[in-house]
Structure 1
């Protein structure tokens, strides 16, 4: 659900003068974000949405999410995330980081070559053994250092993920009611069959605060090295999972 009209902020960010640039601004939109590409920079804002798994409904929540995104992603993508800017209003004028009412927030990033996203490199046949070995080593290193979370059994952890998925299916309009029922039943059956294994893995410390969205489009080659970026910053429950669940996002993309 959209909670605020952000049109005036979007128009400001579409103006290259707002960023001290003269070139055109390219805009990319997702269901929860907008990215503005201009010159050598990218500026990312959160859409004012409230969904079962994310709440960006107020400027303060969006600012906090931006700050958390930079904090988390700077671990796996050093140098890519630069700063968080406050969008403020004084009278009828919007500005970045000036005194006034907080109306929004935006993340400043280095703009990188989009052909270096791993989904595009996959389509171009450029995922070499050497590159994928580097990706695998980086993910393994990241997972080894990720915080171990003991907040319940492994089966309960995945059960929580399935509840979030079910709520998302119900509002996405991607599947009809019968398809949703079939999917949810299959997930519950798989959970039941693997519950004891998931519980053993949680006890062994395999449930950690992970990336949470580790598909090919969220990995890029930056400064000559594979980098993980755009992790889940807005919902710790989604990102706190078994490390193999985290890895499964990437494996599904590679198999596809």
Structure 2
């Protein structure tokens, strides 16, 4: 396995990590390296799988952020030294990206983001959804139920740690009731072309205002089931995160603009359901960080997971 600290030291790079990746930050470029992990829904366990996922990541992300993704590069280890962009003795692969100035990220612009910013994002996301491939099979209620059942199964171990037992049972009950009540609408949305190959991880830190336009990056490449689905499920991740950070006003503008552009008759029925789902997924992912022996900020991850599960429960009350 690659020694990430050694590589970072050699490059004089800062390391940022998630539960699935290491990101090496240099002055002008970024190298994103996938951790050799297998969570079932995500498998980066072999070098070949990591290379394939790097290539898929570049291909998919160029749809919404073409100028940032430079390509996939090999990393060789020769005579005790790591050599980037060298294929003589490959030990790892990385996605090479232009570095986006942190002040351009929406997560760092919340104090000055405007109504116009939100409308521009909604328009960008809506136009993206109209152009990408239909993926009707991922709109089936069985697929969505598989996703939510998986979430509940994978978070049982965190009851009493990051999620309250009553909230866990309540969210699960409301989710099941929604399926029973609106099963026919899931089929209608498939017929109406509302199921698309989307982004899957449309978060505040993945939206940037660059000189050449809005860049939305870091989509999910590792599992179609999480990337493809209902367009509301895709777009509402961002509004959920805006509300997580207390910007309900910006969330409303974003949602209202997307609703207006999409002319979606079921928008208000599905919006709280999918926001409940998205908040739960984020709570789950932050809970996973508690099990990573190398993750340094576990208390921070735990606090955020608790907040996200509470947010998910608040959306469940609106279903």
What band does the TM-score fall into relative to the shorter chain?
0.7 to 0.9
Q: Residue 55 in 1 paired to residue 43 in 2?
A: yes
Partner of residue 19, structure 1: none
Which of 220, 233, 237 is residue 221 of structure 2 equivalent to? 233
RMSD of aligned alpha carbons: 2.2
Report the CA distance between 1:92 and its aligned residue: 4.5
Taking structure 1 as the reference length, what is the TM-score of the superposition? 0.85
Report the CA distance between 1:255 and its aligned residue: 2.8
User: Cα–Cα, structure 1 residues 84 and 30, in superposed 2: closer, same or farther, change >3 Å?
Assistant: same
Which of 84, 96, 113 is residue 96 of structure 1 equivalent to? 84
Report the CA distance between 1:11 and its aligned residue: 1.6
Which of 100, 103, 116 is residue 115 of structure 1 equivalent to? 103
Partner of residue 238, structure 2: 250
CA–CA distance in 2 between the matches of 1:89 and 1:171?
Answer: 39
**Structure 1 residues 29-178: aligned runs within 5 Å:** 29-90=17-78, 92-122=80-110, 124=111, 126-151=112-137, 154-170=140-156, 174-175=162-163
Taking structure 2 as the reference length, what is the TM-score of the superposition? 0.69
Q: Is the contact made by 1:36 and 1:43 (CA closer than 8 Å) also made in structure 2?
A: yes
Secondary structure at 1:86's aligned position in 2? strand
CA–CA distance in 1 between the matches of 2:131 and 2:76?
Answer: 37
Report the CA distance between 1:205 and its aligned residue: 1.4
CA–CA distance in 1 between the matches of 2:14 and 2:129?
Answer: 34
Partner of residue 207, structure 1: 195
User: Cα–Cα, structure 1 residues 57 and 10, in superposed 2: closer, same or farther, change >3 Å?
Assistant: farther
1:86-138 per-position Cα deviation (integer Å, ceiling 9, x unaligned): 1234565432343444321111111121121112211x2x2112211211111
Report the CA distance between 1:62 and its aligned residue: 0.8
Q: Relative to structure 2, which stretch is displaced further, 130-139 or 155-164?
A: 155-164
Higher strand share goes to which structure? 1
Which of 1, 4, 7 is residue 12 of structure 1 equivalent to? 7
Report the CA distance between 1:69 and its aligned residue: 0.6
User: Cα–Cα, structure 1 residues 168 and 219, in superposed 2: closer, same or farther, change >3 Å?
Assistant: farther
1:176-205 per-position Cα deviation (integer Å, ceiling 9, x unaligned): 666544433332222222222122101211
Where does the alignment leave 5 or more consecutive residues of structure 1 unmatched? 17-23
CA–CA distance in 2 between the matches of 1:99 and 1:233?
Answer: 24
How many residues are aligned here? 242
